[in-house]
Amino acid sequence: MFWQTKEWREYLLNDGTGYIDRSINVEGESITLLQIGEEFYSPGFTETPTKIYAIEAAAEHYGVKQIQVDTMIKRYLQIPSLTCVVDPFDIHMSKGHKSAVTKANKYLNYSVVKTTEQFMKDYFEVAGKRTRPKRTFELLEEWISKGFGTLLRAEYYGKTAGYTYIIHHENYAYYFMSCVFEQYKQFNVSHFLQSKAFEILREKGIHTYGLGEQCYNSLLHQPSEKEMNISLFKRGFGGEIIYKPRSEYFFDQDYMKQVYEQRIIKYQEAEREHINNFSEA
């Protein structure tokens, strides 16, 4: 799997947006637990339980109270999530998605882009701010050159409408990141780019394509309306909703109690809002 390669590990060290690599402040500098863990376990730092022990040691040393990891560990609290996976050779789009792709094909073209500099500029413009370090986009370009990544650009009469970046390794692919300019959303840019991603993955003979997390109201997380809509968008391409392991560990039991008390309050508030919205409808 790509997640076990040195390329992915370097991304975690530089991007700092995941769980196991959560950034903390050490002597005025932002540094990740994954980087700190190397100080506690240097020989290889492999994908074994030893890696978890090293990160735990680093977390305790620097006073981190909580860590989450995208794997199953017996002594950790299990907080599983759901993800949507489709087979590009066996797509069952919803009626709405089929109509959206048909409309998009009338207005949009696409190209496969080999460099990421303009993607980075456009990504930040759409976001309205710089959301990731420059090195992240350099890594994305390196993955393209190594055959691990594909960057698709949607074009509306020669103007950039949006992008989608997918990772592929062996027989697995993953929808990694995207952006769409607001003025072109009416042309269903995201639907269009995913349909082209399916074509490319079929050419590569890849049968498993992870579209990403499915959000639902739970004790752990109360998704926003935007997150719920993104989940609905992904489900519209058909496929299966599968279990994705995730674990959580607290080094401070009092802190754990505080966190769960807050989670219960937020869950109750979300449920009350849901009931109110349903009643008004």
d(CA 239, CA 208): 10
Q: What is the pLDDT along the chain (281 residues), one digit of tens a residue?
A: 666 667 766 666 565 444 444 554 545 554 555 555 555 544 444 444 556 676 777 777 777 787 777 777 778 888 878 889 999 999 999 999 999 999 999 999 999 999 999 999 999 999 999 888 888 899 999 999 999 999 999 999 999 999 999 999 988 999 999 999 999 999 999 999 999 999 999 999 999 999 988 888 888 888 888 888 899 999 999 889 888 888 888 888 898 999 999 989 988 888 887 777 666 65
What whole-number distance in Å separates Cα of residue 125 and Cα of residue 163? 13
pLDDT at 51: 64
Q: Under CATH, what is the fold of the domain 84-214+232-242?
A: Aminopeptidase (3.40.630)
Number of C-beta neighbours around residue 186 at 10 A: 10
Rounded (10°) angle between helices 95-107 and 189-203: 90
On the CB side of 21, how many CA atoms lie within 13 Å of its CA? 13
| Cβ proximity of 231 and 213 under 8 Å | yes
Domain boundaries along the sequence of the chain = 84-214+232-242
